[in-house]
Amino acid sequence: MKRYIISLCALTVSPLLMASIASASQDSQSDFSIALETGMERDSQLTVEEIDQYEAASDMATHLQFEAEGDWQATSRLALKGGYHYTSKSYQDNEDFDLDIGRVFGDVSYDFSVLTVGANQHKIDAKLAGDGFLDMTRTGFYAGKLFANSFYLRAELLDIDKRFDNLSDRDASGDSVATDGYFFFNQGLSFFSLGIEQEEETAQVEHFSYDATNYRATFAHEFNWLDKRNRLKLNGRYSSRDYLGIYPEIEESRADTKNSISLTWDLFFTDHFSMITRLEQTDADSNLSSADYDATQLSLIYRLDI
């Protein structure tokens, strides 16, 4: 993901969590988990998209991540979830692109049999090059329905508030509506999904405001090979973003399109220790020259689930 930052804005429900719905127990229970990741990532293009910071240079980065999550199935219908994630990406030669993200979140859902409804909130604090960068609050309201233990349909309304430490012109509020469908097979361990999202963001300065349409598709398949559990995931995304007002650098309204495709291979050495290999290619087209580029990212990450 050469545009590493703001996977902040892509904090939707994990498809792997969706897969667990098909086999989840209805008994009251609780669970707590911790996960650690470490590895290296090679980026061919350095990018901080939220502030249009680009550099046509390749660099190697150290990846570190910590996750702590708790789940409580309070009743057969009421579920609570919360946690904290911290991610750090530090480049060898380009410290201006070093990014640290802390995220605390909570989620509550209730199963009405006909429909499961819920709400969540994410508080995100991002630091760039060691300095304060961005505070974001993301609030979501969603509804989902599982059909015949093989198809899950989910819709979500999102409200997002962004506050930049040193760039108040880019402070913004946004709304979006997203719909995703998941088709499960292989006893719920593999799936295919399609999604669409309509997004609107209003910034303090008009030419940073935009309307966007985002499409996404994922295919994931889990299998055994060489007596080890493996998972392959192919993910594609396409977005079209139209900015409002006249962008000063180009003296016209800015327009961006972006498509990316990634292939991820998870190799589970044990139930708790795995290796994640990921290759991603992104093609970004824009009438703003600095935002018009092609990029490749290769990642090798080791993960420990406790």
Q: What is the pLDDT of residue 29?
A: 83
The overall average pLDDT reported for the chain is: 91
What confidence tens digit (pLDDT) does each residue in 28-51 have? 688 999 999 999 999 999 999 899
115-123: average pLDDT: 98
Q: What is the pLDDT of residue 27?
A: 52
Q: What is the pLDDT of residue 158?
A: 97
For residue 185, the tally of other CB atoms under 10 A from its CB is 11
Question: Domains along the chain?
Answer: 7-305 (2.40.160.10)
What confidence tens digit (pLDDT) does each residue in 232-289 have? 999 999 999 999 999 999 999 999 999 999 999 999 999 999 999 999 999 999 999 9
The C-alpha atoms of residue 243 and residue 247 are separated, in whole angstroms, by: 8
Task: Find all residues with CB under 8 Å of 117, minimum gap 6, and list them.
Answer: 109, 110, 141, 142, 143
Classify residue 112 by its DSSP letter.
-
Annotate 136-151 with b (16+ C-beta within 10 A) or e (fewer). bebebebebebeeeee
Provide the 3-class DSSP secondary structure of residue 272.
coil
Which pTM value belongs to this model?
0.87
Q: What is the pLDDT of residue 8?
A: 40
For residue 87, the tally of other CB atoms under 10 A from its CB is 19
Task: Inform me whether the pLDDT recorded for 75 exceeds 60.
Answer: yes
